[in-house]
Structure 1
Amino acid sequence: MLTVTLATAAVLGLYFWLLSLRVVQGRIGGKVLIGDGESEDLLYRVRAHANFAEHVPLILILMGLIELAVGPRTGLIVIAAVLVLARVLHGWGMTMYSENKPRVIGVLLTWAVLLTLASWGLLLAFGVVG
């Protein structure tokens, strides 16, 4: 079983639900059926939700494939924890409606996780590491 990937996906699934709920609340409050209704608040909610949906699936796929190849190593657990932290920071930063440290740190950590997993995956795929 892919315990690290499953646990990470479950935690992030709950967080994605919260981001989804925030979008729905913004739509109800602003009486907006589609789009952002020119509401800056709703735009930020939609983009926080979309940014999560744009990054997290590929990262979870990479995690799962790596875990299949090497098992639930400590490094993968650390990466999973960093990913959860990164996504929470990004989502929180998106509620501040301006450039801010949580959002920037969340983006940079997400990219670091993606680059680390992609590199690890390539090294595994070409037999450079086992």
Structure 2
Amino acid sequence: MNLQEFKTQLLADGVIDAAEVAKLKEVLYADGTIDKEEAEFLFDLNDAVTGKANDAAWEAFFVQAISDYLLKDEVSPGEIDADEAAWLVEKIGTDGQVDATEKALLENLKQNAKSFPVSLAALL
């Protein structure tokens, strides 16, 4: 199953429940890392379910997976480099709002990154 088919399946009922979060973890972490395509997939999912009655595990998983993508990469481990910051600003701005899940992500990155770019601080 490709990510587009997976997305259609996950969004069939409009929310992400605990079982779906477990499936996301299994599929996306199968190779041990989150890549750019998977990170963008998660932002697409988040934009589709913002404000819905998602299981609390969704926010925790989203924050962890995107943080892993940004902070556990080979180019700038532990840091958010300029390209990553620009990507994150773009992804968060796609739907025109900074939702609670994205705020939780930004707070987590602020706490765990060696430095926190001004462009991201502005979103908080």
Range into which the TM-score falls when normalised by the shorter chain? under 0.3
| Max Rg structure | 1
The structure with the greater share of residues assigned to helix is 1
